[in-house]
Amino acid sequence: MKKTEKVIITCAITGSIHTPTMSPYLPITPEQIIEQSVEAAEAGAAILHLHARDPIDGRPSPDPELFMQFLPQIKQRTNAVVNITTGGAPGFSEDDRLAAPLRAQPEMTSLNMGSMNFGVFGLADKYTDWKHPWEKPFLEASAKFAANHNFALIERIIRELGEGHGTKFEYECYDLGHLYNVAHFADRGLIKPPFLIQGIFGVLGGIGADLENLTLMKQTADRLFGDDYYLSCFGIGRAQMRFLTMSAMMGGNVRVGLEDSLMIGRGQLAKSNAEQVRKIRSILTELGIEIATPDEARQMLALKGGDQVAF
């Protein structure tokens, strides 16, 4: 793993799994996404990871026009690295997932490194009154859903975005096998270091949110990539902050955001993405760990620069 004196904070602003019923603070409209992104960047996030939602009912949307309603303003009002999803949401086609990234040609996108069961159906039992009729069936349907991130799709994303537009990737690894998939594409010469390996812990269908698993993932990545990668990680839900702290103490980076957890403490909803950024920044500062600026993150990850995007 590459050692660094400064930690990159990524903030995942809204995601595609949490629904409007779950938190009144979840950003839905382009204006809300802009405001929360700007606040998160001001709080210390170097990278902003972005999805889009239908501004009427909050359901996930792949529409490039929606992305273009918030991407230019975020770029104008912050220096943060913009990172757009290619995972999208259940029900999106492959073309859906690529529509906005190919339009925007960002510095970074996410890249899920393997197909997997992705079970969030348990959330459907936690609420009785729903704001919108789509929410409960959407969550329940995940019992029959397997997220499709096959080798052909991964290669398509690498070629069309990486080779085509100079985009770099946040390699999302939900299990140990996903690390070997990254190594496969590296061995073929289709992707180049430095790699940002994002370990994701606690999704039903992926690796569990046990701290021992973080150690195991780091050890495996060390074997596969040596000094060619930066580690980042997060545990979903209540595992969030302890995983982030552990990652930073191991020399890794961190990711917060309402995509990954709606909470700021036990039983307490986070009122913004920035609140989570401020909390992890405070923890890291108390540990004597410095926070990377957006330009320092660009240098670490060898990004093409914000002047090379299409928004």
pLDDT digit string (tens) for the chain, length 311 residues: 987 779 999 999 999 999 999 999 999 999 999 999 999 999 999 999 999 999 999 999 999 999 999 999 999 999 999 999 999 999 899 999 999 999 999 999 999 999 999 999 999 999 999 999 999 999 999 999 999 999 999 999 999 999 999 999 999 999 999 999 999 999 999 999 999 999 999 999 999 999 999 999 999 999 999 999 999 999 998 889 999 999 999 999 999 999 999 999 999 999 999 999 999 999 999 999 999 999 999 999 999 999 999 99
Q: d(Cα 279, Cα 11) in Å, to the nearest integer?
A: 12
Q: d(Cα 157, Cα 86) in Å, to the nearest integer?
A: 8
- Residues in CB range of 71: below 8 A, 6 or more apart: 50, 82, 84, 104, 106, 311
Question: Where are any strands of DSSP class E within 219-288?
Answer: 229-235, 253-256, 263-265, 268-269
**What residue type is 74 in one-letter code?**
I
Q: Write down the pLDDT at residue 2.
A: 84
The pTM of the full predicted model, rounded to 2 decimals, is 0.97
Q: Write down the pLDDT at residue 64.
A: 98
Q: If residue 228 lies in a helix (H) or strand (E), which one and from where to where? A: none
C-alpha dihedral sign at 49, 163, 197, 142: positive
Q: Is 153 exposed, middle or buried (0-12, 13-18, 19+ CB in 10 A)?
A: middle
Q: Write down the pLDDT at residue 5.
A: 78
Q: Is 160 exposed, middle or buried (0-12, 13-18, 19+ CB in 10 A)?
A: middle
Place of tokens 């459907």: 124
- Residues in CB range of 218: below 8 A, 6 or more apart: 1, 199, 231, 250, 252
